Amino acid sequence: MWAQDEGFNTLKLFPAEAVGGVKLLKSLASPFPDLRFCPTGGIDIKKAPEYLALPNVLAVGGSWLTPDDAIAARDWAASPRWPARPAS
């Protein structure tokens, strides 16, 4: 409520899975209809579509977005391809 009182309408939810994940976000939708979330923490590529289907979720974050091998190889050119995978 503090964030909303301060004029914020977009918030990060971390660690999403540990604090209730999709179930928590569903329960927050009714009392806070103007808030949108970017959940991160414990979300994998299989869980991402369930989060993205919620009306109060703008985006999700996850370590799968930037694979360790791509970081090690400094393969920054590949990064635009990664985010499209869970949404398709």
The tokens for 51 are 């989060």
| pLDDT at residue 71, rounded to an integer | 84
Residue-wise pLDDT tens digits, 47-81: 999 999 999 999 999 877 777 888 899 987 776 66
The share of the chain scoring above pLDDT 90, in percent, equals 67
Q: pTM (2 decimals)?
A: 0.80
Rounded Cα–Cα distance for residues 85 and 88 (Å): 6
In this predicted structure, the answer to whether residue 85 has a pLDDT above a threshold of 70 is no
More confident residue, 1 or 10: 10
Report residue 60 CA to chain centroid gap. 2
Q: What is the mean pLDDT of the chain?
A: 89
